[in-house]
Structure 1
Amino acid sequence: MATTQSLRELGIQGLPHPAYSPDLAPCEFWLFPILKDKLAGRKFDRIQDLAKAVNSELRTISEEDYQGMFRKWQIRLKRCIESHGEYFEGL
């Protein structure tokens, strides 16, 4: 609520979206969970160390994994269209 109010005070208008909108961005449903798992439990004293670790982990993801993610993304987009933007579970 405080964030919304601050944005209004700054003249920044938000876009309405359903409360339970599906994650359609590949980073949200695929990449961030992978990075979270790989970096879990590690502490970084400097942002540069975190950036280096993230870049290193990103390089370990295979081309086949990226291709699979795009196939799943297409299915997810289709399901969203078929459900008229309403919430749906899973892939």
Structure 2
Amino acid sequence: MRLASVLSLCVCVSGCFGTTPVIEYRTRNVPVVIPCVEERAVVPSWATAKLKADSDLPEVTDAYMIELEQRKQYELELNAIIAGCEQ
């Protein structure tokens, strides 16, 4: 009887040492609440708003080129604020 219990114990213990454990990593997507940014983008004073009615063509062209860059920068700021709220 004692021999049978010792043999069964050896069989059980040897089963633990015979295999290597398999480690599986799983990704779980859990929504996390992120507070939205409360700041607002400051609207710049557009370059074309400063033009006079009798401005010549080079002044108008320069103002529109400057305003194009202003609008691109303003759009980047707005997109950054929106992205901060969507994460």
* TM-score, with structure 1 as normaliser: 0.33
* TM-score, with structure 2 as normaliser: 0.34
Which structure has the bigger radius of gyration? 2
